[in-house]
């Protein structure tokens, strides 16, 4: 049984569940969303047009190579703390322990089979993740360029890290941290808790998508719109399948391409990405 099939809790238990949800969001993406809203107002108050501003995602944290590496690793570990919290809160005594987060051995769902996966459901789910990444990534890049062209988005710089031996592995880990934290908190955990609070299917999908868009507002309105659309697609996929792995794989792939591929894109198309 996945989180989609759990019954709402009694009315008397809902205040405590709301407090839990509020605390988790305050420690993670609710806080990030409020901060991003303040940031977009600050950007709009500047004399420089939004399209001429930059938003950097991964930046150096020290001028010394190995201190920078230490800070980057510490940031990745700290960023996964809210993920550990929701895993603790939704942990089941019996296997699959993380079924309410859409992880572990899957139960029968409406997942369309992929030929050749046999008894390896994770391979089937990984394949769906690649399909989701393609469905989101190609139109998403086109929309980013369009949003920047019409002036509603900043120039997003995925990384300004110096080229050390550890740079690409760190970017891959940063991408994994983002994928795990966003998909397990903004989708899996939020879906479970809103379901338990009696919130409807589409209200849950829209709420999750708006939350995803809110903490990307620091990039501009294009980042907000693009991530809301991504949230709607991912929310629909999770509602249908009840599985987190396809979302994590898709998000991880998208961020790896964005983070690690940015220097190459900048070198090839400096006008578009500079």
Q: Count CA atoms closer than 13 A to 5's CA, side-chain side.
A: 11
- The better pLDDT of the pair 123, 111 is held by 123
* 120 or 8, higher pLDDT: 8
Percent of the chain with pLDDT over 70: 89
Note the pLDDT of residue 266: 67
Pick the range with the lowest mean pLDDT from 45-54, 103-112, 157-166. 103-112
Kindly tell me if the per-residue pLDDT of 117 is higher than 50.
no
pLDDT of residue 262: 74
- DSSP-assigned letters across all residues of the chain: --GGGPPPPPGGGHHHHHHHHHHHHHTTHHHHHHHHHHHHHHHHTSSS-GGG-EEEEE--S-SSHHHHHHHHHHHHHHHTHHHHHHHHHT--SSSSTTGGGT-SSPPS-SPPP-TT-TT-HHHHHHHHHHHHHHHHHHHHHHHHHHHHHTTSB-EEEEE-----TTHHHHHHHHHHHHHHHIIIIIIIIHHHHHHHTT--HHHHHHHHHHHHHHTTGGGBHHHHHHHHHHHHHHHHHHHHH--SHHHHHHHHHHHHHHHHHHHHHHHH-HHHH-
pTM: 0.90
Residue 16 or 262, more confident: 16
**pLDDT (tens digit, 9 = 90+) per residue, 215-251?**
999 999 999 999 999 999 999 999 999 999 999 999 9
- Kindly list the domain boundaries of the chain, sorted by start residue: 10-106+121-273
């Amino acid at each position: 049984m996945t989180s989609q099939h759990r019954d709402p809790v009694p009315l008397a238990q809902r205040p405590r569940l709301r407090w839990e949800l509020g605390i988790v969001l305050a420690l993670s993406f609710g806080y990030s969303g409020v901060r991003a809203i303040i940031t977009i107002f600050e950007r709009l108050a500047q004399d420089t047009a939004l399209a001429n501003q930059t938003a950097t995602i991964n930046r150096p944290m020290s001028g010394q190579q190995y201190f920078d590496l230490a800070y980057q690793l510490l940031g990745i570990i700290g960023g996964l703390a809210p993920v550990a919290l929701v895993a603790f809160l939704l942990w089941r005594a019996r296997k699959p322990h993380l079924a309410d987060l859409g992880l572990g051995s899957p139960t029968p769902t409406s997942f369309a089979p992929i030929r050749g996966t046999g008894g390896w459901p994770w391979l089937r789910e990984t394949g769906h993740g690649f399909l989701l990444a393609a469905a989101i990534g190609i139109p998403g890049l086109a929309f980013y360029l369009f949003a920047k062209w019409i002036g509603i988005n900043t120039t997003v710089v995925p990384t300004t890290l110096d080229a050390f031996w550890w740079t690409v592995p760190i970017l891959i880990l940063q991408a994994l941290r983002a994928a795990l934290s966003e998909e397990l908190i903004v989708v899996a955990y939020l879906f479970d808790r809103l379901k338990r609070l009696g919130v409807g299917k589409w209200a849950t999908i829209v709420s999750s998508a708006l939350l995803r868009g809110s903490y990307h507002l620091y990039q501009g309105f294009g980042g907000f719109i693009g991530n809301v659309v991504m949230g709607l697609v991912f929310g629909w996929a999770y509602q249908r399948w009840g599985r987190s792995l396809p979302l994590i794989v898709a998000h991880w792939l998208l961020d790896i391409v964005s983070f690690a591929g940015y220097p190459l894109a900048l070198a090839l198309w400096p006008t578009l990405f500079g």
